Amino acid sequence: MDTPAAKACRLLRRQAVARSRELEAAGVSRTMLAKLVERGTLRRVARGVYSLPDASPDVGHDLARAARQVPGGVVCLLSAVRFHRLTTQNPFEVWVAIPPNAWRPVGGGVPIRFVHVARPHLADGVEHHRIEGTKVAITTPAKTVADCFKFRNRIGTDVAIEALKEFVQRHPGEIDALLRHAKVARVERVIRPYLESVA
């Protein structure tokens, strides 16, 4: 007989992380989910999101899957910060910028956090990477840091400052690009004091 534990493990081997509703659809009740976490069979990585206890998140894999789910989207903010190695944080969701009122796909296995960005700014400061055969649009390091300050109320000022420090160390020749993106995002005045303190 196929046990709830076996069903959960099979789903999580296929897609690394799953929401409780996906596990329920696979035949694992919420009560059983709590028991599996208690036993150590599953790990709760965030509210309503589970993985296998020994799962090591493959950032590139999730980005490729998100790009397939949201073809017109751009990987941004925490996911772009992680991709460019500007943080030690590992977000369980893939942050994707889309135009206002754009269609949001449902399901697909990769948890996605959508950020609405005006169309003229969506393509600015974007580079493309080939990951698992998929073309993935990701904000450049400079644009990513500027965006972190623009959306600091959503992601936290501490994350934006950490990204800025790493950016200055890793990309010292791109400060002008950072300030250009900061100006467009109207956060140049916010960034300058932090930039002066870490430069």
Tell me if the pTM is above 0.85. no
Indicate whether 20 and 92 sit together in one domain: no
72 plus 152 within the same structural domain = yes
Q: Indicate the number of domains in the chain.
A: 2
Helix (H) or strand (E) holding 174: none
Report the run of H or E that residue 190 belongs to, with start and end. helix 188-198
57 pLDDT higher than 60: no
Judge if 35 and 65 occupy the same domain. no
Q: For residue 124, which of 142, 112, 104, 102 has the smallest C-alpha distance?
A: 142
pLDDT average, residue stretch 178-182: 96
Q: Are residues 73 and 155 in the same domain?
A: yes
Q: At 81, is the secondary structure helix, strand, or coil?
A: helix
Same-domain status, 149 and 190: yes
DSSP state of 53: T
CB atoms within 10 A of CB 87: 19
Q: Is the pLDDT assigned to residue 140 strictly greater than 80?
A: yes
- Please give the residue range of the domain that contains residue 17: 4-51
Same-domain check for residues 87 and 149: yes
Residue 144 parent element (H or E): helix 141-150
Other CB atoms within 10 Å distance of the CB of residue 71:
10
Q: What is the pLDDT of residue 55?
A: 65
User: Do residues 140 and 91 both lie within one domain?
Assistant: yes
- Report pLDDT for 120: 80
